[in-house]
Structure formats: structure tokens, C-alpha cells
Amino acid sequence: MHPTRRWIFLLAGLAAVLTAGCGRKEVTSLQRKQAASLVSEADFALNLRDNPRAEALLTQAVAACPDTPEYWLKLGSVRRRLDNRAGAKAAYEELLDLAKANYQRDAKNPQPLLQQVYALALLGRMDDARAVLEKAKKNHPDDRNIRAFVEDRQLDRLPDDPGFKEMAL
């Protein structure tokens, strides 16, 4: 074999080995159970108004189980209560990215589109939220949740909701 070809094969093999670990790893059932336990403990801390403890527990939960949108939403809202706007923004952006990826993976399920709408609204990007809602309405005209969201004008009412105001940036 020619030495140049040998180097090409060697570099190609090395590149394959080095990039094999890239990307998100599959979350194990043990990690899911640990994350659920951490979130449960965080909910208890929130009931006691111990926001710093809840934030630390939710940070551990999203590290263990980064593919659960609800955990990112809770983390963002706790960070917002702690007046950590940058941290809340980062969590809401993770929620948005995850919802986009989930919809790309399963375009028949409209739930990730509604999660995108909510995340965009939390980030203060209402025009983008409206555009995603229009896409949801167009792609899923028979979905009850989307139809109710549109007909009840929930997106327009969100900024007036006190709970939303507390969480939004």
C-alpha cells in the first residue's frame, strides 16, 4: 500500500474513533430515576421557598437527564426567581433547542411545537412564538391542544398572567 493511502486510512480511522463519542449520549433508566428524585426534592425545596437549593437540585437533574423539557422549564423559572436572568435565559434556550429537536425527530407529535411557543414567549420573542404557532396550526389542524391554544388566544394572554410574568425574561 502506498504511504499516502496508509496515512489517509489512518487519519480516517482516527477521526472515526475521536468523533464516536460526540453528540448526546442515551440517558439510562437509572439516570432518569435519579433525575426524577432530584426534581421531587427540588419541588419540596420550592415549597419551603428554598430557591437556591431547588436551583442546585434542578441543575443536577438536567445534567443527569438533559432530554426532559419540563426540567429545563423548572430550572429556568427558579433561576428567574433568583434574579439570575442569564441562567434563566440559558435554561429556556435549552428548552427551545430540545423542543425543536424533538419535533424534528417526530413531526407527527405537535407537543414540541407548543413547547417551542412557550419557550419563545418566555424569552420575550413573541413574534417568533406566533410564527411557530402558525406552523403548528398549519401542520396539525386537527389537534385539540393547538386549536384550543389558538382559539382561546392563550399566547396573547400570556404576558398578562402573573405566573408567566414571574418566569419570563
Q: Report the percent of the chain where pLDDT is more than 90.
A: 85
27 near 65, Cβ under 8 Å? Answer: yes
H-type alpha helices, the chain: 3-19, 29-47, 51-64, 69-81, 85-105, 111-122, 126-139, 144-151, 154-157, 162-167
Q: Above 60 in pLDDT, residue 11?
A: no
CA 46 – CA 59 distance, rounded (Å): 14
**Is there a domain that residue 51 lies in?**
yes
**Is there a domain that residue 63 lies in?**
yes
Question: Reduced to 3 states, what is the DSSP secondary structure of residue 153?
Answer: coil
**Is there a domain that residue 154 lies in?**
yes
- Which range of residues forms the domain containing residue 77? 29-167
DSSP state of 23: S
CATH number at 33 reads 1.25.40.10
CA 27 – CA 17 distance, rounded (Å): 21
**Is there a domain that residue 108 lies in?**
yes
**Is there a domain that residue 118 lies in?**
yes
**Is there a domain that residue 15 lies in?**
no
Q: Above 50 in pLDDT, residue 23?
A: no
**Is there a domain that residue 2 lies in?**
no
**Is there a domain that residue 6 lies in?**
no
Higher model confidence: residue 105 or residue 13? 105
Measured CA angle at 100 (ends 94, 103), to 5 deg:
140
Cell 396573547, residue located: 156
pLDDT digits 0-9 by tens, 25-48: 799 999 999 999 999 999 999 999
Number of domains in the chain: 1
Q: Above 80 in pLDDT, residue 24?
A: no
